[in-house]
Amino acid sequence: MVLGIGAFGLFIYSRPPVLIVTDAPFVYIYGQNRLRREIVRASAALFRLVLPVVVADGASDDIVFFAVTNASTRPYAVIFPLRYAGAASFFHIQAPEVPVIVLEGRHGQGASAPGADDFFRFRTDTETDLYRAGRLSAILNEETGGQSLVFLGGNLIGNERQIFQQALAGQGEWPETQFFYSIAELGSVLGISSAVLAGSGTEFLERRPNIPVIFFTWLNPAFMPGEVVVVFDDSPWVQAEPAVRMMAAGIKNGQIASRPLVLSARVADNDVLRRLRNAANSVESQPHS
């Protein structure tokens, strides 16, 4: 048994790693312990090390290139968040033999940088995320029978409203949902049973609303108020495994759903907790139009 584990470890260490470019502020807001857990998870899933390349916030493209090559002279792939698209282009020009993955998140429209057509580009699947959030919101609404309040990011201008409503209907919920794009549009919260912060409305938490909140964010849950009960994480650490698998399959562009995390210590009812976990872990997704 011990020899088998040791051999497996040597196998993983012997393979070229996947590198993920990040910066010190992100590590802080994400949480170092949480980051370590995701590194272990992704490394085990991909059978190769997944390693962070931590640079200073605002590091120049050549400094990022030096940090990446210093981490490994032969990486299997290098993952860049969209904010480092310029560094991704610079790296690709200098090392065209290494696959480059750019994760565009929920808000990016893609970088118009040299060599961008040669990148593997993946964005967050916001339709699937809103569909799952709708299912979770329906569960949270059952006790009081109130409405859902949803703050959408300005980039969400497609079918997200209909998709969220469809998810509520699929759970047997039919009340009207209030959709907003900023906190300035919000009036009274009377009759609201749950809220979804999907790209805007973070100021809503400052009101201490005393209703359960579903938050689309990378932020460490330890930094969030107690009203937040579910987090949708689309960080590079969560998306690394599916991104690398799609890259290996030759898929140049695609979408990756976030990972919902139910904060169990904040849900008092065990039955509600069980149902939230089941809904969060469901592989069912909303078909794209």
Read out DSSP for 18-87?
EEEEEEHHHHHHH-HHHHHHHHHHHHHHHTS-EEEEEE-TT--HHHHHHHHHHH-SS-SEEEEEGGGHHH
Q: Is the domain of 187 the same as that of 277?
A: yes
The CATH number given to whatever domain includes residue 178 is 3.40.50.2300
Q: What value does the mean pLDDT of the chain take?
A: 86
Q: Is the domain of 116 the same as that of 202?
A: no
User: What does the pLDDT read at residue 210?
Assistant: 85
pLDDT reading at 10 higher than 80? no
User: What does the pLDDT read at residue 158?
Assistant: 65
Q: How confident is the model at residue 2 (pLDDT cuts 50, 70, 90)?
A: very low
Q: How confident is the model at residue 9 (pLDDT cuts 50, 70, 90)?
A: low
Q: How confident is the model at residue 111 (pLDDT cuts 50, 70, 90)?
A: very low
* Distance of alpha carbon 34 from alpha carbon 27, whole angstroms: 9
> pTM for the whole thing?
0.88
Give domain status of residue 240, yes or no.
no
Q: Which domain, by its residues, includes 105?
A: 2-124
User: What does the pLDDT read at residue 142?
Assistant: 84
Q: Is the domain of 18 the same as that of 155?
A: no
Q: Is the domain of 34 the same as that of 155?
A: no
Among 107, 124, 141, the domain-final residue is 124
The CATH number given to whatever domain includes residue 37 is 3.40.50
Q: Is the domain of 8 the same as that of 141?
A: no
Q: Is the domain of 137 the same as that of 223?
A: yes
pLDDT reading at 268 higher than 60? yes
Number of domains in the chain: 2
* Distance of alpha carbon 229 from alpha carbon 52, whole angstroms: 28
pLDDT reading at 127 higher than 50? yes
Give domain status of residue 119, yes or no.
yes
How many other CB atoms are found less than 10 A from the CB of residue 12?
16
Q: Is the domain of 63 the same as that of 144?
A: no
CB-based contact 22:236 (threshold 8 Å): yes
Q: Is the domain of 138 the same as that of 276?
A: yes
pLDDT tens-digit readout, 194-230: 999 998 888 888 887 788 999 999 999 999 999 999 9
Helix 126-141 and helix 270-281: axis angle, to 10°? Answer: 160
User: What does the pLDDT read at residue 285?
Assistant: 46
Q: Is the domain of 93 the same as that of 224?
A: no
Q: Is the domain of 16 the same as that of 73?
A: yes
When pLDDT is averaged across residues 151-176 and rounded to a whole number, the result is 76
Q: Is the domain of 118 the same as that of 136?
A: no
